Amino acid sequence: MDVIISNHALEHTLNPLEELKALRLILKKGGTIHFFVPCDSISYAYNPEDINYHLYSWRSQNWGNLFHKAGFEVIHAVPHTHKWTQYYRCFAKLGWLISNFVCKIYAHF
């Protein structure tokens, strides 16, 4: 593959390092890999009812280290803050730009 994109999937795997190593084997030389993963707040208490059921959450440094350990050359490992509010459907009616702005602000709380 020339490009691999993953959007909020790796945090649900039992062994993310092995998953990345397997993806590295199918990525062509010179190919790129783009991943988006959660960076949950340390203030989140355990909730057995949590709908997201994340097994892992990362910071940029951990993320870069994991990819490096899997054999990738890390070009960027930067945070992108975004969190859906409980009122996301209301904000979505106002349009993508406003909804996205609210989600970026909400992610800091």
Record the tokens describing residue 7, joined without a space: 């959007």
74 with 86, same domain? Answer: no
88 with 104, same domain? Answer: yes
Domain of residue 33 covers 3-78
Which one, of 36, 33, 42, 50, lies nearest residue 81 by Cα?
36
pTM: 0.73
71 with 41, same domain? Answer: yes
14 with 28, same domain? Answer: yes
Specify the pairing of strand 32-36 against strand 3-7: parallel
Predicted confidence pLDDT, tens digits, the chain (109 residues): 899 999 889 999 999 999 999 999 999 999 999 988 877 777 778 889 988 888 988 888 998 999 999 999 999 887 766 666 676 677 677 776 777 677 777 776 6
90 with 45, same domain? Answer: no
70 with 100, same domain? Answer: no
